[in-house]
């Protein structure tokens, strides 16, 4: 077992229960011994669901299942297992997904199409879905509200800490709650890992409103985090809105343009951003959290592309692991992004200290000061292209020998 | 000094002299102590030149210079230095390029516009071009034909072995010679390294013919090699044709469509392919040479994109370093390439053994046999998408802890 990431939060946050959501976990023995590996979340009737998924052209069977079932807009249960991703498992995988939904729907008393699924772990091995039948009735009997940390632990693969975040906001002057859990990104030994996240709220939102919030919300949060540039076949982010706050007098929101949605949107995005940052803090072998800010680009889209080019560059990431403010490699990564850039207008900062300016080393730059900043666990790397007003930021971590050890050493 | 790559050829190849090319090297003290760091190649009057360069939007000053001077189509000398890339050096860099060309043109007795330049090494430091004036007259006096290994050594940065390749082909029944040298790819400590290559021939080719050969030739050779997906600001490949074979009765070739060019094209491409493979064999920290073959894709272009996605995936590369035939990560890399792919039609081979077939683990696959194959220094990884006839191959190397050490440890 790997040591907890040095970038982990001190503790799992305080997270309130959400009316209409109850969870339980079990050890079904999918792959791991001595730990939980199944999460069941029961959702009260009428719960709206929305989702975003991996852009992989070879998605896992559960991703295909969820995409298909989203059309209904309603969910009654979420079943997540760790240890086996049910990815690249062909017809067996499709059958395993169906069997899981059947088992869960019987135990929960709903339709299979109202069951949402996610799997993370080994790829290419058949998922022994029949094992769920041994635990599902007990899970349904055991569900309780508010057991978020337990839920976050059951979905971990080689994450080094459980990830959760919560926010309470007001709609119509009445409090509504948002709680989310996530598991790590980076593709993790002994096979692939995956980014999974599940966000729950008691706000009364129509499925289309929830989908709009989610689609827009991920752009600057989960989609702005990269560990190694690799993309899982299984990445899944589902959001569930039970609507239970309606009982306390919050009127239903049916349009994404409703101004009553704004405080909720902020809280929802804060939860997504918090979870996404925790994912970056638990990148494989990570010793430093790196915020890459690109400004002065032609457009926000260009800024994102350049920021991703920097954040995914093995040379930038190894330099940061070596605590070296190597702006030459940043120039390289800007240059290879393929977006408009003018060497003679480029400025680069590490930790707020400008090290390069207008096409050359900044003559005023204090190397000792920057060296001290580079020893910190959190590094801000800023680039100004000097061309326009496009700005963006992404989060990543450094590339250490531990990353290679985690991903390459397990056969020895 | 790093140990020589275990993938290095046994020795530098036998390479003949080329009529009209003479080389010399010197230690100008640009950065390194106790080794040569300047190469001069003098070319006889009338030598045709062609070039291809980095696609970086922030190219180095010498790249800008060469691009500008290519229009003339003629070269009299090539000056290459190692130790300083003259990249991201602003106006100082432009002045240094001009000074170098002035110094060389005075010593060589030609116009500055006939001098071609390349620099590799540290980025962001002013190039002390005045140092060339102390060695240039001696270099001009010392040039000799055929000193290819000496030339290849002078342009190394942290390459672990000098790289050269040669071919003799016939045009009009008469032998013509092609000799090339190269230095390593990957961006190397303590700053950036670069792919540089220079190819010489005595064939009488018009500049446009040489450019056409080069532009087409790099596509399946140098452009099909990747170490870490990073792109130098300085990558430069120049080809020079002295035309001296005309004295032996080889008539000049003025059109790229001339059928007399075909045997030459094959030899030229063989030299490029050989040099490109040596670059992959000297990837930073490389312990395995990996050939990624993608077939059954919709188009060749799609096959290239998928092959590059596999070859640049940190997870595939660390798995190979760990001698693990981890086809799940290959599926992941196929999926993230963004090209058409159907999980249920995908087959994957390691070392010729099929490990996955039609959406699942190949039931017949002998794990012991594949494990033995994965211990070899050369690994073939083949993917069949089962969709069309598009095929391509790229070369890469594994991602080892030594890569991270080379690129991240030098500050400690």
pLDDT at position B367, please?
86
For residue A125, the chain B residues in CB contact (below 8 A) are 361
8-state DSSP, A252: P
Region of A370 (left: φ > 0; alpha: ψ -120 to 50; beta: rest) is alpha
Q: pLDDT for A128-168, tens place per residue?
A: 999 999 999 999 999 999 999 999 999 998 889 999 999 99
Of the pLDDT bands very low, low, confident and very high (cuts 50, 70, 90), residue A67 is very high
Region of B186 (left: φ > 0; alpha: ψ -120 to 50; beta: rest) is left
Mean per-residue pLDDT for A9-24?
A: 97
Angstrom distance (rounded) from CA B236 to CA B187: 14
pLDDT at position B190, please?
36
Same domain, B258 and B302: no
ipTM of the complex: 0.77
Do B251 and B85 form a contact (C-beta atoms < 8 A)?
no
Q: pLDDT for B21-41, tens place per residue?
A: 999 999 999 988 899 999 999
Of the candidates A47, A160, A194, A201, the residue annotated as catalytic is: A194
Alpha carbon of B192: minimum distance to chain A alpha carbons (Å): 7
- Name which of A86-90, B5-9, B18-22, B171-175 the model is least confident about: A86-90
Same domain, A254 and A356: no
Residue (of B313, B39, B268) closest to B276 by Cα position:
B268
- B143, part of any domain: yes
8-state DSSP, B230: -
For residue B57, the chain A residues in CB contact (below 8 A) are 334-341
- Nearest residue on chain B to A235, alpha-carbon basis: B332
Same domain, A124 and A157: yes
Residue A187 has pLDDT above 70, yes or no: no
Are A230 and B410 an interchain contact pair (Cβ–Cβ within 8 Å)? Answer: no
Same domain, A67 and A174: yes
- B14, part of any domain: no
Alpha carbon of B171: minimum distance to chain A alpha carbons (Å): 39
Same domain, B134 and B267: yes
Residue A296 has pLDDT above 90, yes or no: yes
pLDDT at position B124, please?
81
Detail the DSSP E strand segments found in A123-228: 163-171, 174-183, 196-201
Give the domain CATH number at A328.
Answer: 3.10.20.340
- Percentage above 90 pLDDT, chain A: 73
Same domain, B119 and B186: yes
Same domain, A150 and A223: yes
Q: pLDDT for B98-148, tens place per residue?
A: 999 999 999 999 999 999 999 998 888 889 999 999 999 999 999 999 999
Of the pLDDT bands very low, low, confident and very high (cuts 50, 70, 90), residue A342 is confident
Angstrom distance (rounded) from CA B52 to CA B66: 10
Angstrom distance (rounded) from CA A389 to CA A344: 17
Same domain, B249 and B331: no
- Helix residue spans in B28-183 (DSSP H): 61-69, 90-108, 136-142, 148-154
B187, B402, B406: best to mutate for the A interface, most A CBs within 10 A: B187
- B377, part of any domain: yes
- Percentage above 70 pLDDT, chain A: 96
Which among B57, B191, B334 has CB closest to A58?
B334
Of the pLDDT bands very low, low, confident and very high (cuts 50, 70, 90), residue B336 is confident
Alpha carbon of B163: minimum distance to chain A alpha carbons (Å): 23
Which among A59, A359, A411 has CB closest to B323?
A411
- Percentage above 70 pLDDT, chain B: 96
Q: Is A407 annotated as a binding residue?
A: yes
Same domain, B175 and B266: yes
Q: pLDDT for B192-201, tens place per residue?
A: 457 999 999 9
Residue A339 has pLDDT above 60, yes or no: yes
- B11, part of any domain: no
Are A408 and B339 an interchain contact pair (Cβ–Cβ within 8 Å)? Answer: no
- A9, part of any domain: no
pLDDT at position A189, please?
35
Domain that holds residue A191: 21-281
Alpha carbon of B39: minimum distance to chain A alpha carbons (Å): 24
Domain closes at, from B264, B281, B298: B281
For residue A53, the chain B residues in CB contact (below 8 A) are none
Angstrom distance (rounded) from CA B36 to CA B27: 4
Residue B1 has pLDDT above 80, yes or no: no
pLDDT at position B315, please?
85
Concatenating the DSSP letter of every residue in B189-217 gives: TTS----EEEEEE-S-B-HHHHHHHHHHH
How many other C-beta atoms can be found within 10 angstroms of the C-beta atom of residue B49?
24
Is A194 a catalytic site residue? yes
Of the pLDDT bands very low, low, confident and very high (cuts 50, 70, 90), residue B185 is low
Same domain, A221 and A353: no
Do B182 and B196 form a contact (C-beta atoms < 8 A)?
yes
Q: Is A183 annotated as a binding residue?
A: yes
Residue A72 has pLDDT above 50, yes or no: yes
Q: How many domains does chain B have?
A: 2
Of the pLDDT bands very low, low, confident and very high (cuts 50, 70, 90), residue A232 is confident
For residue B344, CA distances in Å to A92, A228, B331, B336, B355 come to 11, 26, 11, 16, 14
Give the domain CATH number at B108.
Answer: 3.60.70.12
Residue A206 has pLDDT above 60, yes or no: yes
- Name which of A154-158, A391-395, B245-249 the model is least confident about: A154-158
Residue A387 has pLDDT above 50, yes or no: yes
Same domain, A252 and A317: no
Residue A201 has pLDDT above 90, yes or no: yes
Which among A54, A192, A319 has CB closest to B329?
A192
Alpha carbon of B56: minimum distance to chain A alpha carbons (Å): 4
Residue A188 has pLDDT above 90, yes or no: no
Angstrom distance (rounded) from CA B24 to CA B150: 8
Angstrom distance (rounded) from CA A7 to CA A4: 8
Of the candidates B194, B233, B242, B396, the residue annotated as catalytic is: B194
- B31, part of any domain: yes
Same domain, A235 and A301: no
Are B361 and A124 an interchain contact pair (Cβ–Cβ within 8 Å)? Answer: yes
CB contacts < 8 A (A, B): 234
- B81, part of any domain: yes
Domain closes at, from A231, A256, A281: A281
pLDDT at position B371, please?
92
- B8, part of any domain: no
Angstrom distance (rounded) from CA A379 to CA B359: 42
For residue A354, the chain B residues in CB contact (below 8 A) are none
pLDDT at position B227, please?
76
Mean pLDDT of chain B: 92
Angstrom distance (rounded) from CA A38 to CA A121: 12
Of the pLDDT bands very low, low, confident and very high (cuts 50, 70, 90), residue A244 is very high
pLDDT at position B2, please?
65
Do B96 and B122 form a contact (C-beta atoms < 8 A)?
no
For residue A226, the chain B residues in CB contact (below 8 A) are none
Domain closes at, from A253, A281, A309: A281
For residue A93, the chain B residues in CB contact (below 8 A) are 359-360
């Amino acid at each position: 077992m790997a040591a907890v990431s040095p970038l982990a939060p001190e503790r799992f946050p305080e997270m309130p229960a959400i009316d209409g959501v109850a969870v339980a976990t079990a050890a079904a023995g999918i792959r791991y011994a001595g730990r939980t590996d199944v999460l069941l979340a029961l959702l009260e009737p009428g719960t709206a669901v929305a989702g975003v998924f991996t852009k992989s052209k070879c998605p896992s069977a559960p991703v295909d299942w969820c995409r298909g079932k989203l059309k209904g807009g309603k969910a009654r249960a979420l079943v997540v297992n760790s240890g086996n991703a049910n990815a690249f498992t062909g017809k067996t995988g499709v059958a395993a997904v169906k069997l899981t939904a059947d088992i869960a729907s019987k135990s929960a008393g709903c339709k299979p199409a109202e069951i949402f699924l996610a799997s993370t772990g080994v790829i290419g091995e058949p998922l022994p879905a029949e094992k769920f039948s041994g635990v599902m009735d007990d899970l349904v009997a055991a569900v309780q509200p508010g057991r978020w940390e337990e839920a976050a632990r059951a979905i971990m693969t080689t994450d080094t800490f459980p990830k959760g975040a919560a926010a309470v906001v007001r709609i119509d002057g009445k409090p509504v709650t948002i709680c989310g859990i996530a598991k790590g990104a980076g593709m993790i030994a002994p096979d692939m890992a995956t980014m999974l996240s599940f966000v729950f709220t008691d706000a009364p939102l129509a499925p289309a409103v929830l989908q709009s919030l989610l689609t827009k919300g991920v752009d600057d949060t989960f989609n702005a985090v990269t560990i190694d540039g690799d993309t899982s076949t299984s990445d899944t982010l589902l959001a569930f809105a039970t609507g239970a706050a309606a009982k306390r007098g919050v009127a239903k929101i049916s349009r994404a343009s409703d101004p009553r949605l704004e405080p909720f949107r902020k809280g929802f995005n804060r939860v997504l951003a918090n979870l996404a940052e925790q994912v970056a803090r638990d990148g494989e072998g990570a010793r430093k959290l790196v915020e890459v800010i690109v400004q002065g680009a032609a457009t926000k889209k260009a800024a994102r592309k350049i920021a991703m080019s920097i954040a995914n560059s093995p040379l930038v990431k190894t330099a940061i692991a070596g605590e070296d403010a190597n702006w030459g490699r940043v120039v390289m990564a800007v240059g290879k992004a393929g977006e408009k850039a003018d060497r003679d207008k480029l400025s680069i900062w590490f930790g707020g200290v400008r090290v390069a300016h207008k096409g050359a080393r900044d003559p005023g730059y204090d190397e000792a000061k920057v060296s001290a900043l580079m020893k910190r666990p959190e590094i801000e790397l800023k680039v100004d292209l000097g061309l326009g007003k496009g700005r963006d930021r992404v989060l990543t971590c450094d590339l250490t020998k531990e990353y290679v050890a985690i991903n390459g050493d397990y056969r020895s």
